[in-house]
Amino acid sequence: MLELLIYMFENYLSTQNLPDFKSITAELEAAGFDNQDIENAFTWFNQLKAMTNAIPVKNSACSSLGYRMFSDTEQKKISAESLGFVLFLEQAKVLDANEREIILDRAMALKQEHINIEEMRWIVMMALWNEGREKDFLFIEDAIYQDHNLVLH
């Protein structure tokens, strides 16, 4: 389903001119995507939006109150490199603890067995774009397309 999410993000959601639901669905079906996958993708994006809107105010102070322990299920599904990437972004103050949790939730919501670093970068990028954080979005976009290691200064 991540392939469909990326396709939708690149072709529809990151543009200012968003066509209506029926038009997008018809175009996606014509492109060969399964109707159930399309519905699941819309649900995934709607849940991302709802979770993002539920965060009252960006609060970087909450990220310094403790440590995040990853569950066995999270560690099995999300690669160590991907989890490290999310923690790196939190350390760099690109994400706060609430945003980290939204990103982890959206990764776990995918039906695929494993999330690698490239896939996690896409999930983060979609989450940041959803929040209107273009500056941070460009940082992640550069990481995706340049495929180099990020360094915290």
Q: What is each CA distance from 23 to 5, 40, 63, in whole angstroms?
A: 16, 16, 41
Min mean pLDDT across 27-36, 62-71, 74-83, 87-96 is at 62-71
Assign 87 to helix, strand or coil.
helix
Entry pTM: 0.82
d(CA 132, CA 46): 15
**Side-chain-side CA neighbours of residue 65 (13 Å):** 8
Centre a 10 Å sphere on the Cβ of residue 128 and count the other Cβ atoms it contains: 24
How sure is the predictor about 99, in pLDDT bands with cuts at 50, 70 and 90?
very high
46-55 burial: b if 16+ Cβ within 10 Å, else e: eebeebbeee
Does the pLDDT at position 144 exceed 80?
Answer: no
CA distance between the termini of the chain: 35
pLDDT at position 130 is 79
- % residues pLDDT > 70 (the chain): 77
d(CA 114, CA 74): 10
pLDDT at position 19 is 73
Does the pLDDT at position 137 exceed 70?
Answer: no
